[in-house]
Amino acid sequence: MPKHNTLKSIQAAIQNGETNGVSLVDYYLSKIEETKELNVYVEVFAAEAKERAKVLDQKYKKDPTTVGRLYGMILSIKDVLCYEGHEVTAASKILEGFIAPYSATAIQRLLDEDVIIIGRVNCDQFAMGSTNENSNYGPTRNAADPTKVPGGSSGASAVSVQADTCLASLGSDTGGSVRQPASFCGIIGMKPTYGRISRYGLLAYASSFDQIGILSNSVEDAALLLEIMAGADEFDSTASQSPVKAYSKQLSFDKKVKIAYFDTALNHPNLDAGVKEETFTFISKLKEMGHTVEAVDFEYLDYIIPAYYVLTTAEASSNLSRFDGIRYGYRSPNATNFLETYTKSRTEGFSEEVKRRIMLGTFVLSSGYYDAYYTKAQKVRRLIAEKTKEIFSTYDFILMPTAPSTAWDIGTMSNDPVQMYLADIYTVQANMVGIPAIAIPLGKHENGMPIGVQLMADKWKEAELLSFAQKIS
């Protein structure tokens, strides 16, 4: 079976009788087996996926009009999304053996359209990390070069698509966790507007930043998945009531647009020369297409990372308090009293990076430090939001590299967390402000690794963002 890059091509093949759900699942299961050494899947739902495919094939055979819009879509999900009756651990020992008693709203909406979930994939523990090395299951490797990291935290989600073990994957994006690995693996990574997709059933890292995101080979699949998952949800008060557009049907684009980029970003000392060159080449290409691309001032770039880490760790320190060994998850066998049940379960259950962030967040919220850190960071967030809004009053999109470099060697970042945090410089703005952003592949670096470029749009402008991305990718 040839590799399919879009659901449309799969559905055409099904229609022509070239394939069906069962053979698709078999194909992807064989790819999962082939790429085992990349350590992508932490659990493969093989039997279940086959069974579901069989049922759907029968349904299709009886009457092709009765199957859902995602018939033929084989999906992997990041280990932070609840799928009823399946284990979900956030790649952490503290949730070892925990079975989700309900499905995330996003997952349920996809299931209702006959998606097949083929397995649960690795990630950085509690989505904290940029390399997928911070996992209870060990590191995931980049399929383009197994000595490199796939990025993170949705690293294995990216590799699952990159290595053709599924058609698309769901990840989560708190500060670039979908876009950066997409960029490192040469695929599409889409983070919608904050509130576009319900977070119910997504294990929280930083509640006011988290969004479910999509990793795929094509913009059109991202558009379709978004369209199905998006929309109001009574179980998430932060999910927007604003109507969901038919993104997948509005992908044609023939306007000339105005695009802003930040001088400070493209001339940043940490930006790899090769990535910079490719980005400028891309800008020239856009100009040739008749679009306006201009440099604008953005004086807050260097404040983004510190403010982001203050705010996200503050929220995380609170969000992760529920993992106490009392009601579910890991309880330390070494605890001999009430207090130790907490301290030992949490000390033994969380990874070093997770504990680092919990402590950082606890510190910035503690009395005496609150104003200096948390309040200040909130102020920075507000300023960045205002500035971004101002840019969008003139420009349709903001263009940025996705990451300052291509994928790192495995092991290089794990001893230098600050260096790793700084690499989020181009992606966190979208989360700070809550705007949609998409990472699209931009060819290869001379080192052979994929490069990505990122486009951001104003809030709720997913339709414009996706159709423009479709046009230029």
Partner 1 sequence: MSVYEKYETVVGLEVHVQLSTKSKAFCADDTRFGARPNTHISAISLAYPGTLPRLNKKQVESAVKLGLAIGSKINQESRFDRKNYFYADLPKGYQITQDASPICIGGQLTINANDAERTIRIHHIHMEEDAGKSIHDMSPKSSFIDLNRAGVPLLEIVTEPDFRSPEEVDVFMNTIRQLVRYLEISDGNMEEGSMRCDCNVSVRLKGAETYGERCEIKNMNSMRFARRAISYEVKRQIDLIEAGGKVQQQTLNFDPVTGITTPLRDKEDAHDYRYFPEPDLPPVHLSDSFINNLKTQMPPLPQELFKQFTSKFSLSDYDATLLTEEKETALFYLDLVKNTPHHKAAANLLINKIKPYLNEQKSSVATFPLSVKSLADFIQLIEDGKVSNTIAYQRIFPALIETPTQTPLAIAEKLNLIQNADEDFLQQLVQEVIKKYPDKVTTYQKGKKGLIGFFMGEVMRLSKGKADPKATNALLRKVLEKQ
Q: List the catalytic residues.
A: 78, 153, 177
Which of the residues 197 through 226 are near partner 1 (CB under 8 A)? Answer: 199-204, 206-208
CA terminus-to-terminus distance, the chain: 25
Q: How far is the CB of 95 from partner 1 (least distance, A)?
A: 7
Question: Based on CB atoms, which residue is closest to partner 1, 374 or 426?
Answer: 374
Other C-beta atoms within 10 Å of 19: how many?
Answer: 20
Distances (CA, A) of 69 to 22, 24, 149, 413: 17, 16, 34, 41
Q: How far is the CB of 365 from partner 1 (least distance, A)?
A: 4
Name which of 82, 80, 84, 83 is nearest 136 in CA terms: 80
When asked if residue 98 is in the footprint of partner 1 (CB under 8 A), the reply is: yes
When asked if residue 128 is in the footprint of partner 1 (CB under 8 A), the reply is: no
Q: How far is the CB of 94 from partner 1 (least distance, A)?
A: 10
Q: What is the x/- site pattern for partner 1, positions 64-83, by CB under 8 A?
A: -----------------xx-
Dig out the tokens for 82 from the structure. Answer: 């609840």
Q: How far is the CB of 171 from partner 1 (least distance, A)?
A: 15
Dig out the tokens for 156 from the structure. Answer: 């294995």
Name which of 154, 199, 162 is nearest 181 in CA terms: 154
Q: Pick from 37, 63, 65, 234: which binds partner 1 (CB under 8 A)?
A: 234
Q: Pick from 328, 376, 412, 472: which binds partner 1 (CB under 8 A)?
A: 328
Q: Pick from 9, 69, 102, 296: which binds partner 1 (CB under 8 A)?
A: 102
Measure the CA–CA gap between 116 and 120, rounded to whole angstroms.
12
Side by side, the strands of the sheet bearing 211-216 are: 41-44, 116-121, 74-78, 168-173, 211-216, 188-191, 437-444, 450-457, 397-401, 258-262, 292-296
Measure the CA–CA gap between 81 and 83, rounded to whole angstroms.
6
Question: Based on CB atoms, which residue is closest to partner 1, 315 or 353?
Answer: 315
Q: How far is the CB of 342 from partner 1 (least distance, A)?
A: 6
Q: What is the x/- site pattern for partner 1, positions 308-327, by CB under 8 A?
A: ------xx-xx-xxxxx-xx
When asked if residue 365 is in the footprint of partner 1 (CB under 8 A), the reply is: yes
Q: How far is the CB of 172 from partner 1 (least distance, A)?
A: 11
How many residues bind partner 1 (CB under 8 A)? The answer is 45
H or E element, residue 262: strand 258-262
Measure the CA–CA gap between 175 and 179, rounded to whole angstroms.
9
When asked if residue 235 is in the footprint of partner 1 (CB under 8 A), the reply is: yes
Question: Based on CB atoms, which residue is closest to partner 1, 9 or 341?
Answer: 341
Q: How far is CA 5 from the centre of its chain?
A: 19
Question: Based on CB atoms, which residue is closest to partner 1, 35 or 313?
Answer: 313
Q: Is 339 exposed, middle or buried (0-12, 13-18, 19+ CB in 10 A)?
A: exposed
Q: Pick from 221, 236, 353, 462: which binds partner 1 (CB under 8 A)?
A: 236
Measure the CA–CA gap between 463 and 455, rounded to whole angstroms.
13
Q: How far is the CB of 228 from partner 1 (least distance, A)?
A: 19
When asked if residue 385 is in the footprint of partner 1 (CB under 8 A), the reply is: no
User: How do strand 258-262 and strand 397-401 relate by DSSP bridges?
Assistant: parallel
Q: Which residues of 95-106 are buried (b: 16+ CB within 10 A; e: fewer)?
A: beebebeebbbb
Which of the residues 10 through 49 are near partner 1 (CB under 8 A)? Answer: none
Q: Pick from 6, 23, 264, 362: which binds partner 1 (CB under 8 A)?
A: 362
Q: Pick from 14, 95, 128, 293: which binds partner 1 (CB under 8 A)?
A: 95
Give CA angle at 361 (356, 362), nearest 5°: 100
Question: Based on CB atoms, which residue is closest to partner 1, 16 or 367?
Answer: 367
Q: Which positions touch partner 1 (CB under 8 A)?
A: 81-82, 88, 90, 95, 98, 100-102, 104, 199-204, 206-208, 234-238, 314-315, 317-318, 320-324, 326-328, 338, 341-342, 362, 365-367, 370, 374
